[in-house]
Amino acid sequence: MSAQLRAVKDDTGASTAEYATVTGCGVGFAAILYKFLTSEAGQEFLKMVFAAIKALLPF
């Protein structure tokens, strides 16, 4: 097997790159969620959700 072909098949560090990508996506999603939930529309949404949950509770 040639050295060039071995270099292509070598996946050293692939899982590290995958973890970095997933971490970056998670941080980006968290930032968008934070911006939404701290906005006026997000606050109204949370109030609506908690009011609906409170209405379901028997006490």
Query: Is the distance from CB of 34 to CB of 46 less than 8 angstroms?
Result: no
Give the pLDDT of residue 5.
58
**Domains in the chain, number:** 1
- Going by pLDDT thresholds of 50, 70 and 90, the confidence category of residue 6 is low
The region of weakest confidence among 1-10, 24-33, 35-44, 45-54 is: 1-10
Q: What is the pTM of this model?
A: 0.63
User: Residue 47's domain spans which residues?
Assistant: 14-56
2 falls within a domain: no
Tell me the per-residue pLDDT of 43-53, one tens digit each, with 9 for 90 and over: 999 999 999 99
**In a domain? residue 6:** no
Q: What is the DSSP string of 20-37?
A: HHHHHHHHHHHHHHHHHH
Average pLDDT for residues 26-33, to the nearest whole number?
98
- For 38, list phi and psi in degrees, rounded to 5: -95, -5
Residues in the chain: 59
Instruction: Tell me the average pLDDT across 9-30.
Output: 88
59, HSE (Cβ side, Cα atoms, 13 Å): 0
